Amino acid sequence: MRTATPGTDSFLEHTTRKAENTMLMHFLGNCVLTGLLALLPFGLALSQSAPADRLISANDLARAVVANELKAEEESHSRWMYHVDREEQGKKKAKEVVQTRQGSLDRVVAVDGHPLTAKEQQKEIERIENLIRNPAEQEKLELTRKKDGQQCRAFFKMIPDAFIFSFAERDRDVIKLSYRPNPNFRPPSREARVFHEMEGEMWVHEKQRRLVRIRGQLMADVKFGGGLLGHLQKGGHFNVEQRELVPSQWELIVMEVDMKGKALVLKTITVQEKEYRSDFRRVPEDLTLVEAANMLTKQIIVAANR
């Protein structure tokens, strides 16, 4: 059981904002797994006929995959429109999302399995139009996108050093790695300390050096301030998956997070989120927010006229 020393920010401030100690899972889902194009020219290619660990160690394979994902994410210019089914704290929402060079724009299409009423659809149109007319909101969207991207890359870069990897099994081109905390790693932040308490598995595509899936589970309670400021409970877990949509182009399709604990002894922390993405459609790489808004509002009008 690890006891973490709190920083200058109060633990309550972090936990009341969706328990920031689990934000690394959101970063994996929102940024790291969105790389689509470039592949690093690694000289150590694995052979189908030879045991993988004879050619490259599990740790080196994990490091190569992480480096490749980061490079792909930096060089990607592909944009997609897709459907999202999201459940957060028991509340379900279905959305249509359009990626643009300025960030993603979405509209809600159903809540708890029920399509929006005509009045609710009109409110969605107004919300989208207000965003497009408000430069300050657009700037906030761009700043959030950049901040998430920076934090995402920082966490993902940490993976090869934070864990010790070993080969578990393989299924054709997919290799499963198991990981556990590296005792020599010193987590640089509170979120990193939570991450470092996890064990799990990582599936990687052998030839493309791409991340197929990663899941992890807290193997011990993580205490803050000796437990006086709060803790996250053993057993909390996350799962993230991505899929190759077209040759060499990958996108996030699954993100699941389930964390529980307490803040300041009394306040219960519960972060339960699921997100499933489907029905991917390519959109122009230079698509703007205005054009994305037109696509989304046009869908509402078409649906209303059916």
pLDDT at 252 over 70: yes
Length reported for the chain: 306
Distance in angstroms (rounded) separating the CA atoms of residues 238 and 200: 9
From the list 37, 117, 125, the residue with the least C-alpha distance to 77 is 37
Which amino acid appears at position 249 of this protein? Q
Task: Answer whether residue 100 shows pLDDT above 80.
Answer: yes
Which bin fits 246, alpha (ψ -120 to 50), beta or left (φ > 0)?
A: beta
* pLDDT tens column, 36-68: 222 222 222 333 323 444 478 999 999 999 999
Largest CA distance in the chain: 63
CB 241 within 8 A of CB 213: yes
Could you tell me where the DSSP H helices lie in 163-306?
190-196, 289-305
pTM: 0.75
Average pLDDT over residues 269-296: 91
Evaluate if residue 169 carries a pLDDT over 70. yes
Q: Flag whether pLDDT at 178 surpasses 90.
A: yes
DSSP output for 168-203: EEEETTEEEEEEEE-TT---SSHHHHHHHTEEEEEE
Domain boundaries, the chain: 2-46+53-305
